[in-house]
Homo-oligomer: A and B are copies of this chain.
Amino acid sequence: MTDTQHYYIGLDGGGTRCRARIADTQGNTLGEAVSGSANVFQNAKQAWQSVQSAISDANQQAGLSSSELTQAIIVAGLAGAEVNSCASEFLSLVQGFQHFTLLTDAQIACLGAHNGQDGAIYIVGTGAIGIAFESGHWRRVSGWGFPLDDIGSGAWLGQQAVRAALRAHDGVTPASDMTNQVWDHFNHSSENLLTWSGSANSGDYGQFSPLVTRAYKAGDPVALNIVQQQLDYLSEQMNSLVTNDLSLSLMGGLSDWIAPLLPMQLQNRLTPSQSDALTGALRYAQRGIKP
């Protein structure tokens, strides 16, 4: 171990857990650990505790001294870090480290997908968000939260199915197998549907997303229409994100569904994700080193 040896810590935190990995200059993993919730929007204090706990456990595995730890270059990608006040609150708690960079979980996912190089990701699961990293700058599209935003997401897909069922119920548009299946779910009771919708969140709406994709494959006309809207919207968003020939990786539960349906000029941009978010955080830490 020489004076020029540096250590890097990558952190990947969300609502359920926080993962930490310590690596040396050569990129060898020295220690890894998992702790609890680290969403700075939900609870900045708890996020900081989880981060500390994960670092401490990973460090024990790595066998580094506390002075070596304080010199480590840390990059954390934590859910909720896009909310400035929460990011500030979290960073005000951070102490004991000279280099601590806070990104969002989506940003380190983007760095992981392209191994720290320029590139973009679009995550289409229950929500939808696009992130691009280019020449050291970040761009982001959508991901402002359902039902206001995240159009084209699984939650949005489900919402369109329920809306279509209501329109068919009202006699505005013809019913289809898909709209009938939505009503089956609510036992053909508009009151059941209304009661449900009064408190339904994005996950509740997202549960109807498989129904739409199945109906699409079966040629259901209402589903065909909804999916076309989804593709139009997502294509517009992706096109605005991947300027200058940026590569694009799709992620999230609906990525396999979306990929083959995209316009060819977008499909030609698609590259498989190269590594995970934790690796992305470490790549970013290595970029940032000024020895």
Contact = CB atoms under 8 A, between A and B. Distances in A.
Contact of A139 (B149, B166, B171, B197): B171
A85 interface: yes
A83 B194 contact: yes
Contact of A194 (B145, B197, B236): B145
Interface extent on A, as a size class? 20 to 34
A145 to B, nearest CB: 7
Contacts of A159: 148
B148 A197 contact: yes
Given A147-B147, A162-B148, A170 B83 contact: no
Nearest to A140: B170
A237 B171 CA distance: 9
Contacts of A171: 139, 141, 240
Contact of A149 (B83, B148, B163, B198): B163
Given A148-B197, A162-B148, A191 B85 contact: yes
A84 interface: yes
B191 A166 contact: no
The A interface, classified by DSSP as helix, strand, loop or mixed, is: mixed
Interface in A177-225: 190-191, 193-194, 197-198, 200
A55 to B, nearest CB: 28
Contacts of A194: 83, 144-145
A78 to B, nearest CB: 16
A147 B198 CA distance: 10
Contacts of A240: 170-173
Given A83-B194, A84-B191, A166-B149, A172 B236 contact: yes
Contacts of A193: 144
A140 B194 CA distance: 15
A142 interface: yes
Contacts of A166: 142, 144, 148-149
14 contacts: A85-B191, A140-B170, A142-B170, A144-B166, A144-B190, A144-B193, A145-B197, A148-B166, A149-B163, A149-B166, A151-B163, A170-B237, A172-B237, A172-B240
Which 9 pairs between the two chains have the least Cβ-Cβ distance?
A141-B170, A172-B240, A147-B147, A148-B197, A84-B191, A144-B166, A141-B172, A83-B191, A149-B166
Given A139-B171, A142-B170, A172-B240, 19 more contacts: A84-B191, A85-B191, A139-B170, A140-B170, A141-B170, A141-B172, A144-B193, A144-B194, A144-B197, A147-B148, A148-B163, A148-B166, A148-B200, A149-B163, A151-B163, A170-B240, A171-B240, A172-B237, A173-B240
